[in-house]
Amino acid sequence: MSKIDALFQPVTLGPLELSNRIVMAPMTRTYSPGNVPNDLNVAYYERRAKNEVGLIITEGTCIGHKAANGYPRVPFIYGEEALAGWKKVVDAVHAAGGKIAPQLWHVGAVRKEGVEPDPSVPGYSPSGLFKPGKETGVAMTKQDIQEVVEAFAQAAEDSKRIGFDAVEVHGAHGYLVDQFFWEGSNQRDDEYGGDLVARTRFACEIVMAIRERVGPDFPIIFRFSQWKQQDYNARLCNTPEELESFLKPLVNAGVDIFHCSTRRFWEKEFEGSDLNLAGWTKQITGKPVITVGSVGLNASFIDEDKRDMVDASGVASGNIEELAERLANEEFELVAVGRALLQDPEWVIKVREGRFDELSDYSKKSLMELK
């Protein structure tokens, strides 16, 4: 066996049977005019399925709440037309032998007035804060919270009905669910604010509502991160004990798989252990986990906000061999690939066959088309 063979072993996670360990990470593409998936979207996801991606997680799909969206031309996961568009995507992926889950999304305070579908609607967030000291939009009432929880549940129910294989709740990167987690944006004094455990209440209610609607055997994936787009150095949990207090309520609520978003998969999460965030999450919860963070990137690149130079640790083959070794050591079950897979739809096959010389460096030009 080669070092990378671990990436290509089948795995069964409850009802989810996957042909390999590679997940397509969710990546916003803004190629859905009118917020409806079209034939270009269908072909985009179908190509990844045909090229042996084990599980596709779609770009963020906005749930049916008036303030869920924050960007133009992103797809919705509500309304007959949008759901019909997603059904075409699901059917094409299944016909190609793939599995697919939508990422359910509410942007919270990231939304600005002027964005579709109703430009007059402001951003909604826990405390009307985008980050500490920056007010934006409105603070959510308990009625608003109930409406958003219902919108997540309805989106999950509709996703199951049209054939998706699982759903992912976007609880990362400083969007709405994460804004409840982060004390920098959640300054509520009711049951949805306070200590870290109290700040998980909103997310737990979403997961419980989804579980009630989809039944016991439909996988719920939950994506979370320490870092925020508002502050790359932000941390929810500074110790394994804090991480356990954060994760246990989500496990009890019904999360099946945790998608642990880091910017570099090889970095250790806490002192005294080489485990990354996914490794710690698996050790604490016993649940299957997805790792992610610069997988397959083989050149230095600068983050779009210019705040941080990132060295992606050598050639692609070395990066991937370390990843496969961690997988073989059961640090995590699945590996999400983002930009490398966006750059090359055939990435999985080329890696499996050892054709590293055919892999090209990621280029932002890839964002300009659905290739």
SS3 labels along 42-96: HHHHHHHHHCCCCEEEEEEEECCCCCCCCCCCCCECCCHHHHHHHHHHHHHHHHC
8 Å CB contact between 137 and 204:
no
8 Å CB contact between 127 and 188:
yes
Q: Strand, helix or coil at 137?
A: coil
- CB burial of 9-28 (b: ≥16 within 10 Å; e: otherwise) equals eeeebeebebbbbbbbbbbe
Q: Strand, helix or coil at 283?
A: helix
175 Cα distance to chain centroid:
11
8 Å CB contact between 290 and 255:
no
At position 103, the amino acid (one-letter code) is: Q
Q: How far apart are CA 40 and CA 125, in angstroms?
A: 33
Q: How many CA atoms lie within 13 A of 91 on its CB side?
A: 10
Residue 325 tokens, joined? 């070794």
Of residues 78, 124, 175, 362, which has the active-site annotation?
Answer: 175
Q: How far apart are CA 152 and CA 258, in angstroms?
A: 17
Q: How far apart are CA 3 and CA 259, in angstroms?
A: 24
Q: How far apart are CA 342 and CA 27, in angstroms?
A: 9
8 Å CB contact between 104 and 61:
yes
Is-catalytic flag, 175?
yes
Dihedral angle computed from the Cα positions of residues 124, 59, 76 and 118, in that order, rounded to the nearest 10 degrees: 40
Residue appearing with tokens 């985008």: 130
The catalytic site residues sit at 175
